[in-house]
């Protein structure tokens, strides 16, 4: 009996999946890549206080520099997912990493090109955002195509733990470099390590022929086969798609606000405290929390719990309980309690990796990269507003409580939407696939 086109594509997709040794090698490599992505991303938040002192920035100007990353980040999300779905996410990741690694290493040089440091730093952060914006959509596309469905939550959460590990490394090593050699050394280290990672991936995991082929496809334009076109109208008629997008928006916005402002909060609220403590402990907690969330999610599903029930439970932890601890940060004057609350909030936010982030792959695995790009674009746009609004609230109210209230409000809206409308059934299948 002849196979239908849909069955043939499904069998081809299964054949293209990684073997277990390949999956382990790529999981470790992508974990390190995500770590370096965040090393480069959080270099600026770690160095903001020192750079503000050197260049005379106030809170609003520092907020402009911090939020400018997201101006670029939101513009390439959909492009990154589309490219990942078409030429392979690993190639998109490699090409973008080589560029953002170079720009990060060159940031101190850009800061001294002239007297307009605010302009140059804002420009470099926008450019870094543009290049890093393709990473997670391309990663989502890659894992949805190469990893078995029963292992996706664990693999995604393990790779996602690199975001906390990278923040941890930059917080620990960066704080020491900041004290010993100045803020410039933080950018040199994170950019240089990224370039070494790019060389490793190019040398040992990707063939030169595949990379050249990908570059030639990019240069000539992307041909889109009829069966691979994204059924946009069909997708956006589904409340579950909008619930996933809004929940991802809330999770990203809340995380970006805390990521950008927590170092300054601790530095100013507890000036005599050691930077390595508050820049390390929350992310040290977040690493095992991320891996645990993935293991727990896959385990619960294997025990017979409905997929959507597990995804919603993860969001209750990732958006609900985490926002409670964020609120507590604004109502304590104890350094130890503040570190505990920050650690709990950041650690619980990693449960989003096994909730809405994987839910997008549940809903539309055939176009998970570009759909995640749409969701993360919304999150990045909210991050621009959220980080900037956070700086404005802190400056105008003179209190950090308003910023933590903002995090809790955004998280609560996303959680309520997902609990009401979230589902896990596929919505990308149609008898007639049309590019609408």
What confidence tens digit (pLDDT) does each residue in 125-155 have? Answer: 999 999 999 999 899 888 888 887 777 778 8
The whole-chain average pLDDT of the chain stands at 83
Q: 204: pLDDT confidence band, cut at 50, 70 and 90?
A: confident
Q: What is the mean pLDDT of residues 32-55?
A: 89
Q: What is the mean pLDDT of residues 21-30?
A: 87
Query: Would you call 207 helix, strand, or coil by DSSP?
Result: coil
Q: Which of 71-75, 83-87, 182-186, 388-392 reaches the highest mean pLDDT?
A: 182-186
pLDDT at residue 219, as a whole number: 62
Interval 208-250: pLDDT, tens = 666 676 666 666 665 544 445 677 788 888 899 999 999 988 9
pLDDT at residue 432, as a whole number: 45
349: pLDDT strictly greater than 50: yes
Write down the residue that tokens 């990893």 correspond to: 147
Q: 194: pLDDT confidence band, cut at 50, 70 and 90?
A: very high
Beta strands in 295-369 (DSSP E): none
Q: 420: pLDDT confidence band, cut at 50, 70 and 90?
A: very high
Distance CA 47, CA 342 (A): 19
pLDDT at residue 210, as a whole number: 67
**Stronger pLDDT, 199 or 23, i.e. the higher one:** 199
**Stronger pLDDT, 122 or 431, i.e. the higher one:** 122
pLDDT at residue 8, as a whole number: 47
90: pLDDT strictly greater than 80: yes
pLDDT at residue 228, as a whole number: 52
pLDDT at residue 217, as a whole number: 63
pLDDT at residue 23, as a whole number: 82
pLDDT at residue 218, as a whole number: 63
pLDDT at residue 195, as a whole number: 95
Run of H or E including 255: helix 239-269
pLDDT at residue 314, as a whole number: 94
Interval 280-339: pLDDT, tens = 788 788 888 988 998 898 889 888 899 899 999 999 999 999 999 999 998 888 889 999
Distance CA 15, CA 9 (A): 10
Number of neighbours of residue 402 by Cβ within 10 angstroms: 16
Q: What is the mean pLDDT of residues 381-386?
A: 82
Distance CA 335, CA 292 (A): 27
HSE value, Cβ hemisphere, 13 Å, CA-based, for 404: 21
In contact, 169 and 279? CB cutoff 8 Å: no
Query: Would you call 205 helix, strand, or coil by DSSP?
Result: coil
Q: 353: pLDDT confidence band, cut at 50, 70 and 90?
A: confident
Query: Residues, the chain, total?
Result: 436
Q: 406: pLDDT confidence band, cut at 50, 70 and 90?
A: very high
**Alpha-carbon distances of 36 from 69, 363, 436, rounded to whole Å:** 16, 29, 38
Distance CA 221, CA 158 (A): 34
**Stronger pLDDT, 243 or 380, i.e. the higher one:** 243
Distance CA 195, CA 354 (A): 29
pLDDT at residue 283, as a whole number: 78
């Amino acid at each position: 009996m002849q196979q239908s086109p849909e069955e043939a594509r499904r069998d081809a997709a299964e054949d293209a999946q990684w073997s277990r040794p390949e999956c382990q090698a790529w999981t470790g490599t992508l974990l390190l890549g995500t770590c370096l992505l965040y090393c480069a991303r959080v270099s600026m938040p770690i160095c903001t206080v020192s750079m503000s002192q050197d260049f005379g920035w106030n809170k609003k100007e520092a907020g402009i520099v911090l939020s400018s990353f997201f101006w670029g980040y939101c513009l390439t999300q959909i492009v990154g997912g589309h490219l990942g779905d078409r030429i392979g996410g690993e190639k998109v990741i490699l090409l973008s990493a080589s560029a953002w690694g170079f720009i990060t290493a060159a940031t101190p040089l850009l800061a001294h090109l002239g007297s307009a440091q605010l302009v140059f730093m804002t420009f470099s952060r926008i450019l870094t955002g543009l290049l890093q914006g393709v990473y997670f959509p391309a990663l989502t596309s890659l894992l949805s195509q190469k990893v078995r469905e029963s292992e996706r939550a664990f693999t995604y959460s393990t790779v996602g733990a690199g975001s906390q590990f990278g923040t941890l490394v930059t917080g620990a090593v960066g704080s020491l470099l900041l004290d010993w050699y100045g803020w410039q050394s933080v950018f040199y280290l994170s950019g240089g390590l990224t370039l070494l990672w790019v060389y490793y991936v190019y040398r040992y995991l990707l063939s030169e022929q595949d990379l050249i082929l990908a570059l030639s496809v990019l240069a000539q334009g992307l041909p889109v086969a009829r069966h691979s076109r994204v059924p946009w109208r069909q997708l956006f008629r589904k409340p579950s798609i909008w619930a996933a997008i809004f929940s991802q928006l809330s999770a990203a916005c809340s995380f970006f606000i805390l990521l950008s402002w927590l170092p300054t909060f601790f530095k100013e609220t507890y000036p005599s405290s050691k930077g390595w403590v508050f820049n390390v402990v929350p992310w040290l907690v977040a690493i095992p929390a991320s891996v645990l969330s993935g293991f727990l999610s896959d385990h619960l599903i294997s025990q017979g719990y409905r997929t959507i029930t597990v995804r919603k439970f993860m969001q209750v932890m990732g958006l609900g309980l985490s926002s409670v601890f964020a609120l507590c940060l604004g109502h304590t004057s104890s350094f130890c309690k503040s570190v505990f609350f920050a650690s709990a909030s950041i650690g619980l936010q990693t449960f989003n990796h096994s909730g809405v982030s994987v839910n997008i792959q549940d809903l539309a695995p055939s176009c998970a990269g570009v759909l995640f790009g749409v969701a993360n674009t919304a999150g990045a746009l909210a991050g621009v507003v959220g980080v900037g609004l956070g700086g404005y609230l802190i400056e105008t109210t003179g209190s950090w409580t308003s910023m933590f209230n903002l995090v809790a409000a955004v998280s609560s809206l996303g959680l309520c939407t997902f609990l009401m409308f979230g589902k896990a059934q596929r919505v990308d299948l149609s008898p007639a696939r049309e590019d609408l």
